[in-house]
Amino acid sequence: MYGTQTRKPYPFLNLEPSRAAARQDTYSPISLSIANALPATPKSASSLRTPLSPRSPGFTRMLHKARSLTSFGGKKSRRGVDSGIASRIPPELWLKVFVCIPLFQLPAVTLTCRTFWSLAQPLLFSTVSTHPAELPSLPLRGPQVVKYRKRIIDHVDFFFSPRIAPSVHECCIAPPSSDQDGASSDDLIDTIFDSLPLLPNLKILNCRCIRLTPRRLAVLQNLQLTAVSLEMCFGEMTDFAAGPSVALKTVTFKYPDESLRWDESNPCLFFLSPQHLERLHATTTSVLPVVSKSEPFRKLHTLELPIECIVNDEFMPALAQCPAVEHLSLHTHELIPRSLIESLPEGILPLLSSYSGPHHYAAPFLRNRPAKNVDISLRCNPARLEASLKGIDRTLASLSFSLDGTELPAPLFGTIHASFPALKSLAVSGPALSSADMNNVLGRVPAHYTLQELTLRIQGRDKFNLWIPPEEAAADAASCFKKMLPALLRTYPSLRAVRLLYGQENGWAMWRRSSGSGLFVKVSA
């Protein structure tokens, strides 16, 4: 992903290049970008679904209004004089405004004023990629290789230039294919690594499918990085096995288990620093031998591992080296290995309070510990979930899960209310229920007096596998909320926020309770 989209002339218009070029005679690029940067305020619901045509009178009025807000009226180059409005507002305030604009719309907004372009650079180029995101359709040959290499070098020269470099906080080095000579040439990657010191504010580095040579690792040791993500990056690092690790706070390893082994070529040896590491995310069990044979990681508070780790002999010794871990996540797809773990031994993860993963291991890991957050990552059977929840401490404050089937059993809600009197947040992302079904469940459970945030999935007309326009689906959600509100307030008197999920596209709407009037107000959709 690039800092800006430069492939299409007008990406914010979502037009093909030929169609955009055909309209250049009528509307200038600057004028079109200004018009698209200003939000329209349609007067009817039909206008929300019908795009504003460039030939309509409404478009012309909006275009004239946009021109009046700039000093050059859309007629001069962006390199002309600055807008008077922009120059009178402090840059710090503009940055706060730009943060509220979606990143994909920000390039169009910056075209309305030259000052915006310079002020928005910290956001436009905070994350850059040295390689094109798209894959070449065919292997590169002859002049294509030269052209492709020049394209990469041009991007690197631009992002690493003195004007842009201070804005870069995250850099991604990801050749699209290891088989493409133009993308994975060692000298080209070496040039990129040698240029990384030119980014004074670089904090995050993401690498995919590159070789970790001593030359490149030496560059990393001299950077002030806080996070590194490695995906399928290999190399012989014998010279660095006995050397100091990189002082990183967050490390991510994306490797299949069969690709790594416990020896000098394991990259975990070089990137895991017991004195600095705070977050470790791994998709491979190969990190376990490194952690178990290292000094204690006394700052590590977040640990994410694959579910296969629980049957690994190094699992418990590795956990013993992480006394400060507060959050444990076991990510999996569907296959869950069986384990004889009934509870963690005394002294292992004494501060653990948050768990994310299959429901099978929620109770074993949190038993006899002050549980705060539980996130059940896979759909589960209601009866089995109820049995798992009974083994968790009553101090639980946040719970989220999704159920199999089409019903939400009232006994499960009753168990949750009785088992966790301090619960403040409850999220049930499935199944989808109608307002009548939800009212029936709430009418059969005792009241819970501390719950403040509730998330539910409602069933609308999409149950017939029909696509419903987003605005109509949102209206259905609002109608459902009104029907459920009396039952919600009877069951949860302290309720402060309700979030309803709906539709096949995972739409959502939220209502918050006003501290003044006590009424629920819709805040977003």
pLDDT tens profile 134-172: 655 556 666 777 888 888 888 899 899 998 899 899 999
CA distances from 293 to 42, 238, 319, 326, 357 (A): 64, 17, 11, 21, 26
Cis peptide before 11 (omega within 30 of 0): no
**3-class SS of residue 305:** strand
Once rounded to an integer, what is the mean pLDDT over residues 73-99?
63
pLDDT of 118 reads 78
- Determine the Cα–Cα distance for residues 100 and 98; give it in Å rounded to an integer: 5
Residue 452 has pLDDT above 60, yes or no: yes
Once rounded to an integer, what is the mean pLDDT over residues 189-194?
94
- Could you tell me which residue, 523 or 71, shows the higher pLDDT? 523
Using CB atoms within 10 Å of the CB of residue 465, give its burial: 0 to 12 exposed, 13 to 18 middle, 19+ buried.
Answer: exposed
CATH number for the 211-352 domain, one of 3.10.20, 3.40.50, 3.30.2010, 3.80.10? 3.80.10
> Which two tokens mark 241?
């096995």
Confidence of residue 301 (pLDDT cuts 50, 70, 90): very high
pLDDT of 122 reads 80
> Which two tokens mark 484?
């459920």
- Determine the Cα–Cα distance for residues 388 and 325; give it in Å rounded to an integer: 22
**3-class SS of residue 127:** strand
Look at 73-77, 112-116, 224-228, 334-338 and tell me which has the smallest mean pLDDT.
73-77
pTM of the model: 0.77
- Determine the Cα–Cα distance for residues 226 and 247; give it in Å rounded to an integer: 7
For the chain, the helix, strand and coil percentages under 3-state DSSP, each to the nearest 5: 35, 15, 45
- Determine the Cα–Cα distance for residues 166 and 121; give it in Å rounded to an integer: 9
CA distances from 82 to 31, 72, 112, 154, 315 (A): 16, 8, 10, 28, 61
Residue 117 has pLDDT above 90, yes or no: no
The full set of domain ranges for the chain reads 11-124, 211-352, 399-525
Residues 484, 489, 491, 494, Cα dihedral to 10°: 140
Residue 482 has pLDDT above 80, yes or no: yes
- Determine the Cα–Cα distance for residues 168 and 121; give it in Å rounded to an integer: 9
Contact 188, 180 (CB under 8 A): no
Once rounded to an integer, what is the mean pLDDT over residues 460-471?
72
pLDDT of 187 reads 87
Angle, CA 227 vertex, CA 218 and CA 261 arms, to 5°:
70
Residue 389 has pLDDT above 90, yes or no: yes
Once rounded to an integer, what is the mean pLDDT over residues 232-256?
82
